[in-house]
Structure 1
Amino acid sequence: MNPAKDTRSMFSINSYLQIHKRFGSRIEDWCDDNWTSKLRVEAGIPRFTGQERDFADFTYLDSSGQMREMLRDAEMDFHLDWFNDTTYHLEVKSTSGSGDEAFFVSQIQVDMMRRYNDDALHAYILVRVSNIENADIQLKFYLDPWNLYMNQVLDFRSEEGYRVFADD
């Protein structure tokens, strides 16, 4: 057993629970099915049976406009072309430290960011959960993170360099 891995898993589960409860309290049709990660079984929710690589941690079809309204109420810069029937893909990233601490994303997550960039039918959002060990948990939402990367708001770095592939 790896205690460091167990601690990271607990951070993730606690972060996911915070997000699940927060959205569930603000969006009427939010349900357990929106939690599209296999870790949800740790919270007593039946195991997610989809392919995780095809989903963010939470997936929500905003057929009633409640997610968009919540983003507007929180004064977030959402895309004006996101509308009812936009599917929101929420990827949760948590650390025990401050919100300034770096966090990791996988190549699959970066590919999803690029795929949904400027797509009115799909909104990809990084949900940053920090101070997870403290009572003062902090949340920050990065809407359209690929666009934020392209505009140098977010900085993606590889410690070992990038492998480059051509499409031809």
Structure 2
Amino acid sequence: MCDWRSTMRKHVAVHPEYSYVTPWEGKETADIVYDDKSGVLTRTLIDKGYLEGTHCMSKKPQYLIEVKTTPGDATRPFFVSKHQYNRMKECTDASRSPRGSCTAYMLIRVFNLTTSDIDFDVYMDPYALQQDGSLIFTEHTWHVVPAQGNEAA
């Protein structure tokens, strides 16, 4: 639970199984902040096709993971804040620096929440996916939809 650095933590403590969870008091950068010191998450993301094999392997990346949910299917818009959008851009710019630390931004989009067919998509580097047309961001409201025919990579 130490990687879950979200202000949403305060809401889960009402459930008896999670009564030990304390509110997050720090500045929120993402729902989950994970330092992949052992490289296990990076290796899994590479093996599943979400990352290229050369991505940050020698740098022990930090992952900023934002989880977005919708009750409907994967074509339904989901929302990001302006702060989250700016953080995505910062992480894209930082990942291009050969000397810089490696911070990767990931959106995990969970959908079909009200059905028995819950599923998810993983969007690594969503700002880059906007640049190549895979994700469509609508400025000011910052709702996001996958482009027609695009599956998460």
TM range (shorter): 0.7 to 0.9
Give the equivalent residue in structure 2 for 1:35: 4
Give the equivalent residue in structure 1 for 2:63: 88
Matches of residues 36-75 of structure 1 in structure 2 within 5 Å? 36-44=5-13, 45-52=21-28, 55-75=29-49
Could you tell me the TM-score, scaled by structure 2's length? Answer: 0.76
Matches of residues 86-165 of structure 1 in structure 2 within 5 Å? 86-118=61-93, 119=95, 121-158=102-139
* Letter in structure 1 aligned against 2:105: Y
List 4+ stretches of structure 1 deviating above 4 A: none
- Tell which has more relative contact order, 1 or 2 (C-alpha 8 A, sep 6+): 2
Deviation at 1:121, TM superposition (A): 1.0
* 2: CA distance, partners of 1:158 / 1:117: 18
Q: Deviations over 1:105-162 (max 9, x none)?
A: 11001100000005151000111000112222111000001101111111111377xx
| Contact 1:126 1:142 (8 Å CA) reproduced | yes
Deviation at 1:49, TM superposition (A): 1.0
The size of the alignment, in residue pairs, is 127
* Letter in structure 2 aligned against 1:157: T
Q: Deviations over 1:9-33 (max 9, x none)?
A: xxxxxxxxxxxxxxxxxxxxxxx01
Deviation at 1:59, TM superposition (A): 0.5
Q: Unaligned stretches of 5+ in structure 2?
A: 14-20, 96-100, 142-153
Which has a greater percent of helix? 1
* 2: CA distance, partners of 1:100 / 1:35: 27
| Contact 2:130 2:137 (8 Å CA) reproduced | yes
| Contact 1:125 1:145 (8 Å CA) reproduced | yes
Q: Percent identity?
A: 31
* Letter in structure 2 aligned against 1:156: F
* Letter in structure 2 aligned against 1:40: R
Give the equivalent residue in structure 2 for 1:163: none
